[in-house]
A and B are shown apart, each in its own frame.
Chain A
Amino acid sequence: MRNLIRFLKRYYYIFLFILLEGLAIYIISQNSYYQGSVITAFANETVGNVSNHTQNISHYFTLGSSNESLVRENAMLRSRIESSYVKYQHRAFQYNDTIYKQQYEYIDAKVIQKTINKRNNYFILNKGTLHGVKKNMGVISPDGIVGVIINVSQNFSLVMSVLHQDSRPNIKNARTKISGTLVWDGVDYSKGKLIDIPSSIPLKVGDTIITSGFSQDFPEGIKVGKITTFDKDKGTGFYVVDIKFSVDYNKLEYVYIVKNFFKEEQEKLTKDIKNE
């Protein structure tokens, strides 16, 4: 018994290390991309409150450019106010005069904490479950695509930005309609890469890249960027394309969270197939 106590006394330090390290690794495994945890929710709340205060200060430095972008966005909205509606004619004749049914709703939010210098970058927004935000909703800004919500607490939400190695939004070329996938190589926050674009169809430098609308997170036609260079990869038969993002993530301040009214219906449809 005395030996045991001596043993513990001598090596308590190693046990404590194993305990703490194990706890840390447990926390990591708990808040992987798929499942949220109590800890992240708690962290979101406390951090969100602190960040709100610091953001209030740094807010003033970017006031000019965010005003400008909001004005631009207003002008854009005025010119195409029906764009968030899909045509809804499920009968051969119409017995009421609603031809449009709303598919997307946008919740405005402010970025209160962000990083752009890591390999995997996350943003925290000041809207949460109380405002109707849910997991897996898309996030866009007036200038283009931003990311996807991966965790929500009462008042705040966590966004996995497109500047992340697990982010793979589906995109397409606005001119040729050929779709592909957007990835980020972790170097420059203003440049992205496109993969899975077959090299049989010619591209042009300067082609606009937009979201494809195939995933239920983003509406079709949200800007992503412009092609700067491209190259054929002989081995695979796909292009390697570099694009410049249309959003300046460094200055990003106001964003919209996309709520898709048809998402559950669409998901249920694919789920039924999988079950069979």
Chain B
Amino acid sequence: MNKDILLGFLHFILIAAFQVFVLNGMHFVGYINPLIYVWFILMLPTNTPKWAVLMLSFSMGFVVDMFSGYIGLHCAVLTFIGFIRPIFINVFFSGKEIESNLRPSIAEMGLSNFLPYLAILVFIHHFFYFTFEIFSFVEIFRTLLRIVLSSISTILIILLFDFIFFKQKK
């Protein structure tokens, strides 16, 4: 248990730092803005208490917010993701698996299960994030394009990292 907390803390710092210092400075075609900090919430072990997930979502959002000028946006959207995560955990894991405290990843779930779990939640996150950031119906097609391209880039980056860092077992 202690090891889990320590590891989680390390993930928190590494992911937030990568998001803030590397990805936020990246620019590519103008539409693509990967937001991989969602990954931190998605990969929390299945047995993590719900209140802890919510608190962690809020703090992760707040940290990323502080570095991006407009405070509150990442926070609100990520808290929502933390709120709906248990629903998806129940869909993608059996009761036994939830009890045994799995970490959602390719190694534990297999790509065919992990990809839909990841893709749906990332897409929901990006949908709300960009809708609220831009908050205008005039640019609706451009916003949609932004949502789709950024979601795809985020999913690819997370899959890549997951593959590199959590490959052990099997």
The reply to whether chain A is a binding partner of chain B is yes
Contacts of B58 on A, CB cut-off 8 Å?
Answer: 20, 23-24
Known: A20-B54, A113-B67, A186-B142. A119 touches B134 (CB 8 A): yes
Contacts of B146 on A, CB cut-off 8 Å?
Answer: 119
Binary interface profile of A, 14-36, with partner B (CB < 8 Å = 1, else 0)?
Answer: 00110011011111111100000
CB distance from B147 to the nearest CB of A (A): 11
Q: Is B110 an interface residue (CB 8 A)?
A: no
Known: A17-B79, A186-B134. A31 touches B68 (CB 8 A): no
CB distance from A159 to the nearest CB of B (A): 9
| Choice from B32, B51, B73 contacting A117 with Cβ under 8 Å | B32
* Count of A-B contacts judged by CB separation below 8 Å: 98
Q: Complex: how many Å from CA A24 to CA B54? A: 12
Which residues of A114-130 are within 8 A (CB) of B?
114-122, 124
Q: Which residue of B lies closest to A187 (CB)?
A: B30
Which residues of B17-62 are within 8 A (CB) of A?
21, 24-28, 30-33, 50-51, 54-55, 57-58, 61
Contact indicator A28/B142 (Cβ below 8 Å): no
Binary interface profile of B, 55-88, with partner A (CB < 8 Å = 1, else 0)?
Answer: 1011001000111111111011001101100000
Q: Is B99 an interface residue (CB 8 A)?
A: no
Contact indicator B32/A165 (Cβ below 8 Å): no
Contact indicator B27/A54 (Cβ below 8 Å): no
Binary interface profile of A, 106-145, with partner B (CB < 8 Å = 1, else 0)?
Answer: 0000000111111111101000000000000000000000
Contact indicator B70/A31 (Cβ below 8 Å): yes
CB distance from A95 to the nearest CB of B (A): 50
CB distance from B60 to the nearest CB of A (A): 12
Contact indicator A47/B66 (Cβ below 8 Å): yes
- B interface, CB within 8 angstroms of A: 21, 24-28, 30-33, 50-51, 54-55, 57-58, 61, 65-73, 75-76, 79-80, 82-83, 130, 133-134, 136, 139, 142, 146
Q: List 23 A-B contacts (CB under 8 A).
A: A20-B55, A24-B76, A25-B76, A30-B72, A39-B71, A43-B66, A47-B67, A50-B67, A51-B67, A114-B25, A115-B25, A116-B27, A117-B24, A117-B30, A117-B32, A119-B133, A119-B134, A119-B146, A165-B134, A165-B136, A186-B134, A186-B139, A189-B27
In the A-B complex, the 9 residue pairs with the closest CB atoms? A122-B69, A28-B72, A24-B76, A27-B72, A117-B27, A24-B75, A43-B66, A187-B30, A17-B83
- Given contact pairs A13-B51, A25-B76, A119-B130, a sample of 14 additional A-B residue pairs in the complex whose CB atoms are under 8 Å apart: A16-B51, A17-B83, A20-B79, A23-B58, A26-B72, A28-B71, A28-B72, A50-B67, A113-B67, A117-B30, A117-B33, A119-B133, A122-B69, A189-B30
